[in-house]
A and B are shown apart, each in its own frame.
Chain A
Amino acid sequence: MLRDIIKKEIQDTIMSPRFVFTFLLCTILILLSVYTGINNYQAELKEHSAAVALNRKNLEGQQSYGTLAGLGTKINRRPQVLSTVVSGIWEAVGRVAVVNIAYDPSMIDSKYSSNPIFAVFGSLDLTFIVKIVLSLFAILFTYDAIVGEKERGTLKLALSNRVPRDTLILGKAIGGFVSLLIPLIIPLVLGLLILMIYPNISLSGGDWLRIGIICLLFLLYLSVFFTLGLFISARTTRSSTSFLILLFIWVTFVTIIPKAAVMMAGQIKPIPSVHKITAQKDAYLQEIQKEAMTEYKKFSDENPRPGKDKPEERERWNEKYKEWAEDFQRRLTGKIDEKNAAIERDYQAKMRQQQKLAVNLSRVSPASALMFSTMSLARTGVDEHERFLNSVKMYKPIFTKWINEKMMRSLNLSGGEQPKPDLSDMPQHEFMPERFGESMTRVLPDLFLMVFLIILFFVGAYVSFLRYDVR
Protein backbone atom coordinates (compact mmCIF):
# COMPACT_ATOMS: atom_id res chain seq x y z
CA MET A 1 0.00 0.00 0.00
CA LEU A 2 2.85 2.36 0.83
CA ARG A 3 4.18 1.84 -2.68
CA ASP A 4 0.77 2.71 -4.17
CA ILE A 5 0.57 5.91 -2.16
CA ILE A 6 4.12 6.91 -3.13
CA LYS A 7 3.41 6.14 -6.78
CA LYS A 8 0.17 8.10 -6.70
CA GLU A 9 1.87 11.07 -5.06
CA ILE A 10 4.63 11.15 -7.67
CA GLN A 11 2.20 10.72 -10.58
CA ASP A 12 -0.16 13.36 -9.24
CA THR A 13 2.65 15.87 -8.85
CA ILE A 14 4.35 15.10 -12.13
CA MET A 15 1.12 15.58 -14.05
CA SER A 16 0.41 18.93 -12.41
CA PRO A 17 1.19 22.21 -14.18
CA ARG A 18 3.22 23.41 -11.19
CA PHE A 19 5.63 20.52 -11.66
CA VAL A 20 6.12 21.33 -15.34
CA PHE A 21 6.73 24.96 -14.48
CA THR A 22 9.14 24.09 -11.66
CA PHE A 23 11.05 21.61 -13.75
CA LEU A 24 11.50 24.02 -16.65
CA LEU A 25 12.51 26.91 -14.44
CA CYS A 26 14.94 24.79 -12.42
CA THR A 27 16.54 23.38 -15.54
CA ILE A 28 17.03 26.82 -17.06
CA LEU A 29 18.30 28.41 -13.84
CA ILE A 30 20.62 25.60 -12.79
CA LEU A 31 22.20 25.20 -16.20
CA LEU A 32 22.50 28.96 -16.56
CA SER A 33 24.13 29.27 -13.15
CA VAL A 34 26.66 26.51 -13.89
CA TYR A 35 27.43 28.05 -17.28
CA THR A 36 27.91 31.56 -15.86
CA GLY A 37 29.87 30.07 -12.95
CA ILE A 38 32.26 28.38 -15.37
CA ASN A 39 32.65 31.52 -17.47
CA ASN A 40 33.27 33.69 -14.41
CA TYR A 41 35.83 31.23 -13.09
CA GLN A 42 37.67 31.09 -16.38
CA ALA A 43 37.67 34.88 -16.68
CA GLU A 44 38.94 35.17 -13.09
CA LEU A 45 41.64 32.60 -13.78
CA LYS A 46 42.76 34.52 -16.84
CA GLU A 47 42.73 37.75 -14.90
CA HIS A 48 44.70 36.12 -12.10
CA SER A 49 47.45 34.90 -14.45
CA ALA A 50 47.64 38.33 -16.07
CA ALA A 51 47.76 40.07 -12.67
CA VAL A 52 50.56 37.78 -11.43
CA ALA A 53 52.60 38.42 -14.59
CA LEU A 54 52.01 42.16 -14.38
CA ASN A 55 53.05 42.24 -10.73
CA ARG A 56 56.28 40.42 -11.58
CA LYS A 57 56.96 42.82 -14.42
CA ASN A 58 56.32 45.81 -12.17
CA LEU A 59 58.66 44.49 -9.52
CA GLU A 60 61.36 43.79 -12.06
CA GLY A 61 60.92 47.26 -13.51
CA GLN A 62 61.68 49.06 -10.25
CA GLN A 63 64.83 51.15 -10.22
CA SER A 64 65.84 50.47 -6.64
CA TYR A 65 65.01 48.47 -3.54
CA GLY A 66 63.72 51.70 -2.02
CA THR A 67 61.02 52.15 -4.64
CA LEU A 68 60.26 48.43 -4.45
CA ALA A 69 59.79 48.71 -0.67
CA GLY A 70 57.36 51.59 -1.12
CA LEU A 71 55.44 49.95 -3.94
CA GLY A 72 55.45 46.53 -2.35
CA THR A 73 54.33 43.34 -3.98
CA LYS A 74 50.82 42.29 -4.90
CA ILE A 75 49.52 38.93 -3.73
CA ASN A 76 46.81 37.75 -6.08
CA ARG A 77 44.48 35.14 -4.79
CA ARG A 78 43.93 32.26 -7.15
CA PRO A 79 40.20 31.72 -7.82
CA GLN A 80 38.68 28.56 -6.42
CA VAL A 81 37.36 26.09 -8.96
CA LEU A 82 34.31 25.44 -6.78
CA SER A 83 33.31 29.08 -7.08
CA THR A 84 31.59 27.79 -10.22
CA VAL A 85 28.90 26.38 -7.92
CA VAL A 86 29.24 28.51 -4.78
CA SER A 87 30.59 31.98 -5.51
CA GLY A 88 30.61 32.88 -1.81
CA ILE A 89 31.94 36.19 -0.57
CA TRP A 90 34.97 36.23 -2.84
CA GLU A 91 33.54 38.64 -5.34
CA ALA A 92 32.85 41.14 -2.57
CA VAL A 93 36.06 41.01 -0.50
CA GLY A 94 38.74 41.56 -3.10
CA ARG A 95 41.22 39.50 -4.99
CA VAL A 96 44.50 41.30 -4.32
CA ALA A 97 46.52 42.14 -1.21
CA VAL A 98 49.33 44.71 -1.38
CA VAL A 99 52.32 43.95 0.84
CA ASN A 100 54.73 46.83 1.48
CA ILE A 101 56.75 48.05 4.41
CA ALA A 102 54.35 50.80 5.41
CA TYR A 103 50.85 49.43 5.71
CA ASP A 104 49.09 46.37 6.93
CA PRO A 105 47.93 44.26 4.03
CA SER A 106 44.25 44.15 3.21
CA MET A 107 42.26 42.80 0.30
CA ILE A 108 41.47 45.24 -2.49
CA ASP A 109 40.15 45.19 -6.05
CA SER A 110 36.97 43.23 -5.53
CA LYS A 111 34.74 42.47 -8.47
CA TYR A 112 32.09 44.62 -6.84
CA SER A 113 34.44 47.59 -6.50
CA SER A 114 35.46 47.37 -10.13
CA ASN A 115 31.85 47.02 -11.27
CA PRO A 116 29.41 48.07 -8.54
CA ILE A 117 26.34 46.90 -10.47
CA PHE A 118 27.25 43.31 -9.49
CA ALA A 119 26.87 44.29 -5.85
CA VAL A 120 23.28 45.36 -6.44
CA PHE A 121 21.99 41.96 -7.44
CA GLY A 122 24.68 39.53 -6.33
CA SER A 123 25.59 36.47 -8.28
CA LEU A 124 23.30 33.76 -9.60
CA ASP A 125 25.09 30.71 -8.32
CA LEU A 126 23.74 27.28 -7.52
CA THR A 127 23.48 28.01 -3.80
CA PHE A 128 21.35 31.06 -4.50
CA ILE A 129 19.01 29.01 -6.69
CA VAL A 130 18.62 26.31 -4.07
CA LYS A 131 18.41 28.76 -1.19
CA ILE A 132 15.77 31.02 -2.75
CA VAL A 133 14.06 29.39 -5.73
CA LEU A 134 13.98 25.71 -4.83
CA SER A 135 13.06 26.29 -1.19
CA LEU A 136 10.08 28.30 -2.44
CA PHE A 137 9.17 25.40 -4.71
CA ALA A 138 9.43 23.02 -1.75
CA ILE A 139 6.79 25.13 -0.06
CA LEU A 140 4.72 25.27 -3.21
CA PHE A 141 4.78 21.47 -3.41
CA THR A 142 3.76 20.87 0.19
CA TYR A 143 1.58 23.69 1.47
CA ASP A 144 -1.55 21.76 0.47
CA ALA A 145 -0.18 18.23 0.84
CA ILE A 146 -2.58 17.39 3.67
CA VAL A 147 -4.96 20.31 3.93
CA GLY A 148 -5.46 20.35 0.14
CA GLU A 149 -6.56 16.71 0.17
CA LYS A 150 -8.93 17.52 3.00
CA GLU A 151 -10.41 20.41 1.00
CA ARG A 152 -10.78 18.25 -2.08
CA GLY A 153 -12.36 15.42 -0.09
CA THR A 154 -9.86 12.84 -1.31
CA LEU A 155 -8.45 12.42 2.20
CA LYS A 156 -11.84 11.32 3.50
CA LEU A 157 -12.25 8.95 0.60
CA ALA A 158 -8.80 7.45 1.10
CA LEU A 159 -9.25 7.04 4.85
CA SER A 160 -12.65 5.38 4.40
CA ASN A 161 -10.50 2.41 3.35
CA ARG A 162 -8.21 0.24 5.40
CA VAL A 163 -5.37 2.75 5.19
CA PRO A 164 -3.33 3.40 8.34
CA ARG A 165 -2.69 7.09 8.77
CA ASP A 166 1.02 6.60 9.40
CA THR A 167 1.33 4.76 6.07
CA LEU A 168 -0.51 7.57 4.30
CA ILE A 169 1.67 10.37 5.72
CA LEU A 170 4.82 8.35 5.07
CA GLY A 171 3.75 7.67 1.49
CA LYS A 172 2.89 11.30 0.94
CA ALA A 173 6.21 12.43 2.40
CA ILE A 174 8.31 10.03 0.34
CA GLY A 175 6.34 10.54 -2.88
CA GLY A 176 6.25 14.30 -2.49
CA PHE A 177 9.96 14.48 -1.77
CA VAL A 178 10.86 12.35 -4.77
CA SER A 179 8.69 14.63 -6.92
CA LEU A 180 10.55 17.64 -5.59
CA LEU A 181 13.91 16.04 -6.21
CA ILE A 182 13.27 15.40 -9.90
CA PRO A 183 13.42 19.10 -10.88
CA LEU A 184 16.63 19.42 -8.86
CA ILE A 185 18.49 16.21 -9.63
CA ILE A 186 18.11 16.09 -13.43
CA PRO A 187 19.37 19.63 -14.16
CA LEU A 188 21.98 19.28 -11.40
CA VAL A 189 23.39 16.14 -12.98
CA LEU A 190 23.39 17.89 -16.37
CA GLY A 191 25.14 20.89 -14.80
CA LEU A 192 27.80 18.69 -13.22
CA LEU A 193 28.32 16.91 -16.52
CA ILE A 194 28.94 20.27 -18.15
CA LEU A 195 31.40 21.04 -15.38
CA MET A 196 33.11 17.72 -15.99
CA ILE A 197 33.50 18.03 -19.73
CA TYR A 198 34.12 21.77 -19.99
CA PRO A 199 37.68 22.50 -21.14
CA ASN A 200 40.15 24.09 -18.71
CA ILE A 201 38.09 23.17 -15.67
CA SER A 202 40.03 20.65 -13.70
CA LEU A 203 38.34 19.13 -10.71
CA SER A 204 40.29 16.83 -8.43
CA GLY A 205 38.85 13.88 -6.53
CA GLY A 206 38.73 16.10 -3.45
CA ASP A 207 36.75 18.71 -5.36
CA TRP A 208 34.21 16.09 -6.44
CA LEU A 209 33.91 14.93 -2.86
CA ARG A 210 33.22 18.52 -1.84
CA ILE A 211 30.65 18.88 -4.64
CA GLY A 212 29.00 15.65 -3.48
CA ILE A 213 28.64 17.00 0.05
CA ILE A 214 27.39 20.35 -1.27
CA CYS A 215 24.68 18.42 -3.17
CA LEU A 216 23.85 16.51 0.02
CA LEU A 217 23.49 19.83 1.84
CA PHE A 218 21.17 21.05 -0.91
CA LEU A 219 19.00 17.97 -0.39
CA LEU A 220 18.95 18.46 3.37
CA TYR A 221 18.07 22.13 2.99
CA LEU A 222 15.17 21.34 0.67
CA SER A 223 14.07 18.57 3.04
CA VAL A 224 13.84 21.13 5.83
CA PHE A 225 11.37 23.21 3.84
CA PHE A 226 9.60 20.13 2.53
CA THR A 227 8.99 18.68 6.01
CA LEU A 228 8.09 22.15 7.29
CA GLY A 229 5.47 22.41 4.53
CA LEU A 230 4.11 19.00 5.45
CA PHE A 231 3.98 19.98 9.12
CA ILE A 232 2.14 23.26 8.55
CA SER A 233 -0.17 21.54 6.07
CA ALA A 234 -1.07 19.02 8.77
CA ARG A 235 -1.71 21.79 11.30
CA THR A 236 -4.07 23.94 9.27
CA THR A 237 -7.60 23.61 7.99
CA ARG A 238 -7.27 25.81 4.89
CA SER A 239 -4.61 25.66 2.23
CA SER A 240 -4.55 29.46 1.92
CA THR A 241 -3.72 29.74 5.63
CA SER A 242 -1.05 27.08 5.26
CA PHE A 243 0.53 28.94 2.34
CA LEU A 244 0.56 32.27 4.18
CA ILE A 245 2.13 30.78 7.30
CA LEU A 246 4.77 29.02 5.23
CA LEU A 247 5.53 32.16 3.26
CA PHE A 248 5.99 34.08 6.48
CA ILE A 249 8.33 31.42 7.89
CA TRP A 250 10.24 31.29 4.60
CA VAL A 251 10.80 35.07 4.57
CA THR A 252 11.89 34.92 8.22
CA PHE A 253 14.29 32.07 7.61
CA VAL A 254 15.76 33.23 4.33
CA THR A 255 16.02 36.99 4.72
CA ILE A 256 15.17 38.27 8.18
CA ILE A 257 17.11 35.99 10.54
CA PRO A 258 20.47 36.19 8.68
CA LYS A 259 20.35 40.00 8.49
CA ALA A 260 18.97 40.45 11.99
CA ALA A 261 21.65 38.14 13.41
CA VAL A 262 24.44 40.32 11.97
CA MET A 263 22.79 43.47 13.31
CA MET A 264 22.22 41.95 16.74
CA ALA A 265 25.80 40.70 16.94
CA GLY A 266 26.96 44.23 16.08
CA GLN A 267 24.94 45.61 18.97
CA ILE A 268 25.90 42.93 21.49
CA LYS A 269 29.59 42.80 20.63
CA PRO A 270 30.58 46.10 19.00
CA ILE A 271 33.97 46.45 17.34
CA PRO A 272 35.95 49.66 16.71
CA SER A 273 35.60 51.09 13.23
CA VAL A 274 38.32 50.60 10.62
CA HIS A 275 38.97 54.37 10.73
CA LYS A 276 39.65 54.22 14.45
CA ILE A 277 42.10 51.39 13.95
CA THR A 278 43.84 53.26 11.13
CA ALA A 279 44.01 56.40 13.29
CA GLN A 280 45.64 54.40 16.09
CA LYS A 281 48.20 52.99 13.69
CA ASP A 282 48.88 56.42 12.15
CA ALA A 283 49.35 57.99 15.57
CA TYR A 284 51.91 55.37 16.46
CA LEU A 285 53.65 55.87 13.12
CA GLN A 286 53.96 59.59 13.82
CA GLU A 287 55.33 58.84 17.25
CA ILE A 288 57.91 56.51 15.72
CA GLN A 289 58.84 59.10 13.10
CA LYS A 290 59.53 61.63 15.85
CA GLU A 291 61.60 59.06 17.68
CA ALA A 292 63.50 58.32 14.49
CA MET A 293 64.30 61.99 13.99
CA THR A 294 65.60 62.25 17.57
CA GLU A 295 67.73 59.12 17.21
CA TYR A 296 69.11 60.28 13.87
CA LYS A 297 69.96 63.64 15.39
CA LYS A 298 71.67 61.89 18.29
CA PHE A 299 73.68 59.72 15.89
CA SER A 300 74.65 62.74 13.82
CA ASP A 301 75.67 64.71 16.92
CA GLU A 302 77.73 61.85 18.28
CA ASN A 303 79.15 60.89 14.92
CA PRO A 304 79.73 64.00 12.81
CA ARG A 305 80.36 63.18 9.18
CA PRO A 306 83.98 63.83 8.16
CA GLY A 307 84.62 66.42 5.50
CA LYS A 308 85.35 65.66 1.84
CA ASP A 309 89.03 66.24 2.48
CA LYS A 310 89.17 63.03 4.56
CA PRO A 311 87.94 60.35 2.14
CA GLU A 312 89.10 57.36 4.17
CA GLU A 313 87.44 58.53 7.38
CA ARG A 314 84.43 59.49 5.36
CA GLU A 315 84.28 55.96 3.88
CA ARG A 316 84.49 54.42 7.38
CA TRP A 317 81.76 56.78 8.54
CA ASN A 318 79.59 55.64 5.60
CA GLU A 319 80.03 51.99 6.58
CA LYS A 320 79.21 52.77 10.21
CA TYR A 321 76.16 54.76 9.14
CA LYS A 322 74.95 51.89 6.95
CA GLU A 323 75.24 49.46 9.84
CA TRP A 324 73.49 51.86 12.19
CA ALA A 325 70.76 52.64 9.63
CA GLU A 326 70.15 48.97 8.90
CA ASP A 327 69.86 48.20 12.59
CA PHE A 328 67.80 51.33 13.20
CA GLN A 329 65.43 50.56 10.32
CA ARG A 330 65.03 47.00 11.56
CA ARG A 331 64.22 48.17 15.05
CA LEU A 332 61.76 50.77 13.84
CA THR A 333 59.90 48.49 11.48
CA GLY A 334 59.96 45.83 14.16
CA LYS A 335 58.35 48.24 16.59
CA ILE A 336 55.79 49.36 14.03
CA ASP A 337 54.99 45.79 13.08
CA GLU A 338 54.72 44.77 16.71
CA LYS A 339 52.42 47.63 17.61
CA ASN A 340 50.31 47.20 14.47
CA ALA A 341 50.11 43.50 15.10
CA ALA A 342 48.92 44.14 18.66
CA ILE A 343 46.24 46.58 17.46
CA GLU A 344 45.31 44.17 14.70
CA ARG A 345 45.21 41.18 17.06
CA ASP A 346 42.87 43.02 19.39
CA TYR A 347 40.69 44.13 16.48
CA GLN A 348 40.68 40.68 14.91
CA ALA A 349 39.79 39.04 18.23
CA LYS A 350 36.85 41.39 18.69
CA MET A 351 35.80 40.94 15.09
CA ARG A 352 36.02 37.16 15.37
CA GLN A 353 33.85 37.24 18.49
CA GLN A 354 31.30 39.35 16.69
CA GLN A 355 31.40 37.14 13.62
CA LYS A 356 31.06 34.01 15.70
CA LEU A 357 28.06 35.45 17.49
CA ALA A 358 26.48 36.53 14.20
CA VAL A 359 27.08 33.10 12.67
CA ASN A 360 25.67 31.27 15.68
CA LEU A 361 22.63 33.53 15.90
CA SER A 362 21.89 33.25 12.22
CA ARG A 363 22.30 29.46 12.28
CA VAL A 364 18.73 29.24 13.58
CA SER A 365 17.88 29.75 9.93
CA PRO A 366 18.55 26.80 7.63
CA ALA A 367 19.34 29.33 4.88
CA SER A 368 22.31 30.61 6.88
CA ALA A 369 23.37 27.07 7.70
CA LEU A 370 23.32 26.28 3.97
CA MET A 371 25.33 29.39 3.09
CA PHE A 372 28.01 28.81 5.71
CA SER A 373 28.39 25.12 5.02
CA THR A 374 28.50 25.34 1.23
CA MET A 375 30.92 28.27 1.33
CA SER A 376 33.18 26.34 3.69
CA LEU A 377 33.16 23.39 1.31
CA ALA A 378 33.72 25.53 -1.77
CA ARG A 379 36.42 27.48 0.09
CA THR A 380 34.80 30.75 -0.87
CA GLY A 381 33.58 31.81 2.56
CA VAL A 382 34.60 34.13 5.37
CA ASP A 383 36.92 31.58 6.98
CA GLU A 384 38.89 30.94 3.84
CA HIS A 385 39.13 34.69 3.27
CA GLU A 386 40.55 35.13 6.77
CA ARG A 387 42.96 32.28 6.30
CA PHE A 388 44.22 33.88 3.10
CA LEU A 389 44.51 37.31 4.69
CA ASN A 390 46.35 35.84 7.67
CA SER A 391 48.77 34.09 5.35
CA VAL A 392 49.44 37.46 3.68
CA LYS A 393 49.91 39.09 7.09
CA MET A 394 52.36 36.37 8.03
CA TYR A 395 54.19 36.95 4.77
CA LYS A 396 54.48 40.68 5.39
CA PRO A 397 57.30 40.56 8.03
CA ILE A 398 59.18 38.06 5.87
CA PHE A 399 58.93 40.41 2.90
CA THR A 400 59.74 43.42 5.07
CA LYS A 401 62.84 41.77 6.51
CA TRP A 402 64.07 40.87 3.05
CA ILE A 403 63.44 44.31 1.54
CA ASN A 404 64.95 46.14 4.53
CA GLU A 405 68.12 44.13 4.32
CA LYS A 406 68.33 44.70 0.58
CA MET A 407 67.54 48.36 0.93
CA MET A 408 70.15 49.05 3.56
CA ARG A 409 72.84 47.01 1.90
CA SER A 410 72.28 48.85 -1.34
CA LEU A 411 72.43 52.31 0.23
CA ASN A 412 74.76 54.46 -1.78
CA LEU A 413 75.55 57.49 0.30
CA SER A 414 77.95 58.87 -2.27
CA GLY A 415 74.96 59.72 -4.38
CA GLY A 416 75.76 57.26 -7.13
CA GLU A 417 73.34 55.03 -8.97
CA GLN A 418 71.28 52.54 -6.90
CA PRO A 419 71.52 48.85 -7.91
CA LYS A 420 68.49 47.38 -9.69
CA PRO A 421 66.51 44.95 -7.53
CA ASP A 422 67.34 41.28 -7.86
CA LEU A 423 64.18 39.23 -7.27
CA SER A 424 65.78 35.81 -7.45
CA ASP A 425 65.90 35.41 -3.66
CA MET A 426 62.72 37.33 -2.89
CA PRO A 427 60.58 35.20 -0.53
CA GLN A 428 57.36 34.04 -2.14
CA HIS A 429 53.93 34.05 -0.54
CA GLU A 430 52.51 30.60 -0.06
CA PHE A 431 48.93 29.70 0.70
CA MET A 432 47.52 26.27 1.35
CA PRO A 433 43.77 26.12 0.83
CA GLU A 434 41.84 24.54 3.66
CA ARG A 435 41.98 20.77 3.89
CA PHE A 436 38.85 18.67 3.56
CA GLY A 437 38.87 17.54 7.20
CA GLU A 438 39.02 21.12 8.46
CA SER A 439 36.19 22.19 6.16
CA MET A 440 34.07 19.28 7.34
CA THR A 441 34.60 20.24 10.98
CA ARG A 442 32.94 23.54 10.22
CA VAL A 443 30.23 21.98 8.04
CA LEU A 444 29.09 19.35 10.57
CA PRO A 445 27.19 21.68 12.96
CA ASP A 446 25.17 23.05 10.03
CA LEU A 447 24.56 19.58 8.66
CA PHE A 448 23.36 18.33 12.05
CA LEU A 449 21.19 21.39 12.48
CA MET A 450 19.43 20.69 9.20
CA VAL A 451 18.99 17.02 10.08
CA PHE A 452 17.57 18.06 13.45
CA LEU A 453 15.07 20.43 11.81
CA ILE A 454 14.03 17.73 9.33
CA ILE A 455 13.38 15.24 12.14
CA LEU A 456 11.58 17.88 14.20
CA PHE A 457 9.28 18.96 11.38
CA PHE A 458 8.64 15.43 10.16
CA VAL A 459 7.75 14.17 13.63
CA GLY A 460 5.52 17.24 13.99
CA ALA A 461 3.80 16.45 10.69
CA TYR A 462 3.49 12.77 11.57
CA VAL A 463 1.97 13.33 15.01
CA SER A 464 -0.30 16.10 13.72
CA PHE A 465 -1.59 13.90 10.91
CA LEU A 466 -2.37 11.01 13.25
CA ARG A 467 -4.74 13.40 15.07
CA TYR A 468 -5.82 15.35 11.99
CA ASP A 469 -9.49 16.10 11.63
CA VAL A 470 -10.21 14.91 8.08
CA ARG A 471 -13.84 16.15 8.02
Chain B
Amino acid sequence: MTAAQIIFLITAAVILGSAFMVVTTKNLVHAALWLIVTLFGAAVLFATLNAGFIAVVQVVIYIGAIAILFIFAVMLTRRSMTDTGPGLNRGWWLSAAIALLTFGGLVWLVSGWGGFTKAAPAYPSGFDAVAALAHALVSPEAFVLPFEVASVLLLAALVGAVYIAFQRKGEE
Protein backbone atom coordinates (compact mmCIF):
# COMPACT_ATOMS: atom_id res chain seq x y z
CA MET B 1 0.00 0.00 0.00
CA THR B 2 1.46 3.35 -1.02
CA ALA B 3 1.48 6.61 0.93
CA ALA B 4 -1.15 8.12 -1.40
CA GLN B 5 -3.52 5.23 -0.69
CA ILE B 6 -3.06 5.56 3.07
CA ILE B 7 -3.79 9.29 2.86
CA PHE B 8 -6.88 8.60 0.77
CA LEU B 9 -8.21 5.99 3.18
CA ILE B 10 -7.71 8.21 6.22
CA THR B 11 -9.37 11.17 4.47
CA ALA B 12 -12.25 9.01 3.27
CA ALA B 13 -12.81 7.67 6.79
CA VAL B 14 -12.85 11.22 8.18
CA ILE B 15 -15.26 12.40 5.46
CA LEU B 16 -17.72 9.54 5.86
CA GLY B 17 -17.56 9.51 9.66
CA SER B 18 -18.15 13.24 9.99
CA ALA B 19 -20.87 13.12 7.30
CA PHE B 20 -22.62 10.46 9.36
CA MET B 21 -22.37 12.72 12.41
CA VAL B 22 -23.84 15.61 10.37
CA VAL B 23 -27.03 13.68 9.63
CA THR B 24 -27.44 12.06 13.05
CA THR B 25 -26.28 14.59 15.68
CA LYS B 26 -29.15 16.12 17.60
CA ASN B 27 -27.39 19.39 18.36
CA LEU B 28 -27.52 21.38 15.13
CA VAL B 29 -24.52 23.58 15.88
CA HIS B 30 -22.50 20.39 16.32
CA ALA B 31 -23.93 19.14 13.02
CA ALA B 32 -22.74 22.33 11.30
CA LEU B 33 -19.28 21.94 12.88
CA TRP B 34 -19.14 18.32 11.69
CA LEU B 35 -20.08 19.61 8.23
CA ILE B 36 -16.96 21.79 8.38
CA VAL B 37 -14.88 18.66 9.05
CA THR B 38 -16.49 16.90 6.06
CA LEU B 39 -15.86 19.88 3.78
CA PHE B 40 -12.27 20.12 4.95
CA GLY B 41 -11.79 16.44 4.15
CA ALA B 42 -13.18 17.04 0.66
CA ALA B 43 -10.70 19.93 0.27
CA VAL B 44 -7.85 17.56 1.18
CA LEU B 45 -9.12 15.13 -1.49
CA PHE B 46 -9.15 17.91 -4.10
CA ALA B 47 -5.59 18.81 -3.15
CA THR B 48 -4.46 15.21 -3.62
CA LEU B 49 -6.17 15.26 -7.04
CA ASN B 50 -3.87 18.15 -8.12
CA ALA B 51 -6.84 20.56 -8.04
CA GLY B 52 -5.28 23.09 -5.65
CA PHE B 53 -7.50 25.94 -6.77
CA ILE B 54 -10.70 23.97 -6.15
CA ALA B 55 -9.37 22.90 -2.74
CA VAL B 56 -8.70 26.46 -1.60
CA VAL B 57 -11.98 27.75 -3.06
CA GLN B 58 -13.75 24.94 -1.20
CA VAL B 59 -12.28 26.22 2.07
CA VAL B 60 -13.02 29.87 1.30
CA ILE B 61 -16.61 29.39 0.10
CA TYR B 62 -17.88 26.39 2.05
CA ILE B 63 -16.12 26.89 5.38
CA GLY B 64 -15.72 30.65 5.28
CA ALA B 65 -19.22 31.46 4.06
CA ILE B 66 -21.68 28.57 3.87
CA ALA B 67 -20.85 26.86 7.18
CA ILE B 68 -20.85 30.20 9.01
CA LEU B 69 -24.22 30.98 7.44
CA PHE B 70 -25.54 27.66 8.70
CA ILE B 71 -24.36 28.35 12.25
CA PHE B 72 -26.01 31.77 12.14
CA ALA B 73 -29.25 30.27 10.84
CA VAL B 74 -29.28 27.63 13.57
CA MET B 75 -28.84 30.29 16.22
CA LEU B 76 -31.47 32.58 14.69
CA THR B 77 -34.13 29.85 14.55
CA ARG B 78 -33.80 28.67 18.13
CA ARG B 79 -35.22 30.30 21.20
CA SER B 80 -33.22 28.22 23.66
CA MET B 81 -29.70 26.89 23.22
CA THR B 82 -30.65 23.29 24.03
CA ASP B 83 -32.45 20.86 21.75
CA THR B 84 -35.59 18.96 22.61
CA GLY B 85 -37.15 15.93 21.00
CA PRO B 86 -35.64 13.50 18.53
CA GLY B 87 -33.76 14.84 15.53
CA LEU B 88 -35.08 12.23 13.12
CA ASN B 89 -38.50 11.46 11.67
CA ARG B 90 -40.54 8.50 12.82
CA GLY B 91 -39.96 6.86 9.44
CA TRP B 92 -36.18 7.22 9.53
CA TRP B 93 -35.60 3.51 8.90
CA LEU B 94 -37.36 3.87 5.55
CA SER B 95 -35.03 6.75 4.66
CA ALA B 96 -32.06 4.62 5.71
CA ALA B 97 -33.28 1.80 3.45
CA ILE B 98 -33.69 4.20 0.52
CA ALA B 99 -30.21 5.64 1.12
CA LEU B 100 -28.67 2.16 1.26
CA LEU B 101 -30.50 1.18 -1.92
CA THR B 102 -29.24 4.34 -3.64
CA PHE B 103 -25.68 3.57 -2.58
CA GLY B 104 -25.94 -0.01 -3.80
CA GLY B 105 -27.58 1.07 -7.04
CA LEU B 106 -24.98 3.77 -7.74
CA VAL B 107 -22.06 1.43 -7.08
CA TRP B 108 -23.65 -1.31 -9.19
CA LEU B 109 -24.28 1.19 -12.00
CA VAL B 110 -20.75 2.64 -12.15
CA SER B 111 -19.01 -0.70 -11.61
CA GLY B 112 -20.56 -1.88 -14.87
CA TRP B 113 -18.88 1.00 -16.67
CA GLY B 114 -15.61 0.24 -18.46
CA GLY B 115 -13.56 3.05 -16.95
CA PHE B 116 -14.39 2.10 -13.36
CA THR B 117 -10.96 0.87 -12.31
CA LYS B 118 -8.81 3.01 -14.55
CA ALA B 119 -5.68 4.65 -13.18
CA ALA B 120 -4.97 8.36 -13.43
CA PRO B 121 -2.96 9.50 -16.47
CA ALA B 122 0.36 11.17 -15.63
CA TYR B 123 -0.06 14.81 -14.69
CA PRO B 124 1.51 16.90 -17.47
CA SER B 125 4.68 18.47 -16.08
CA GLY B 126 4.76 22.26 -16.13
CA PHE B 127 1.01 22.47 -16.76
CA ASP B 128 -0.49 25.41 -14.84
CA ALA B 129 -4.04 24.29 -14.02
CA VAL B 130 -4.95 27.64 -12.44
CA ALA B 131 -4.07 29.59 -15.59
CA ALA B 132 -5.85 27.02 -17.77
CA LEU B 133 -8.95 27.26 -15.57
CA ALA B 134 -8.88 31.06 -15.76
CA HIS B 135 -8.67 30.92 -19.57
CA ALA B 136 -11.46 28.35 -19.71
CA LEU B 137 -13.71 30.55 -17.59
CA VAL B 138 -13.36 33.71 -19.69
CA SER B 139 -12.67 32.38 -23.17
CA PRO B 140 -15.60 32.73 -25.60
CA GLU B 141 -14.81 29.29 -27.06
CA ALA B 142 -15.14 27.70 -23.63
CA PHE B 143 -17.29 28.63 -20.65
CA VAL B 144 -17.76 32.39 -20.57
CA LEU B 145 -21.53 32.13 -20.98
CA PRO B 146 -22.16 29.55 -18.22
CA PHE B 147 -19.83 31.54 -15.99
CA GLU B 148 -21.78 34.75 -16.53
CA VAL B 149 -25.10 32.95 -16.09
CA ALA B 150 -23.83 31.51 -12.81
CA SER B 151 -22.87 34.98 -11.59
CA VAL B 152 -26.28 36.38 -12.55
CA LEU B 153 -27.93 33.45 -10.74
CA LEU B 154 -25.87 34.19 -7.64
CA LEU B 155 -26.79 37.87 -7.73
CA ALA B 156 -30.50 37.10 -8.21
CA ALA B 157 -30.40 34.54 -5.40
CA LEU B 158 -28.76 36.97 -2.99
CA VAL B 159 -31.18 39.78 -3.81
CA GLY B 160 -34.04 37.31 -3.33
CA ALA B 161 -32.60 36.08 -0.03
CA VAL B 162 -32.33 39.62 1.32
CA TYR B 163 -35.91 40.33 0.22
CA ILE B 164 -37.29 37.15 1.81
CA ALA B 165 -35.48 37.46 5.13
CA PHE B 166 -35.85 41.23 5.44
CA GLN B 167 -37.97 42.27 8.40
CA ARG B 168 -40.04 45.29 7.46
CA LYS B 169 -40.57 47.95 10.09
CA GLY B 170 -43.74 47.41 12.10
CA GLU B 171 -43.90 43.71 11.30
CA GLU B 172 -43.93 41.85 14.61
Decide if A and B are genuine partners: no
Q: What residues of chain B have their CB less than 8 Å away from a CB belonging to chain A? A: none
Residues of A within 8 A of B (CB): none
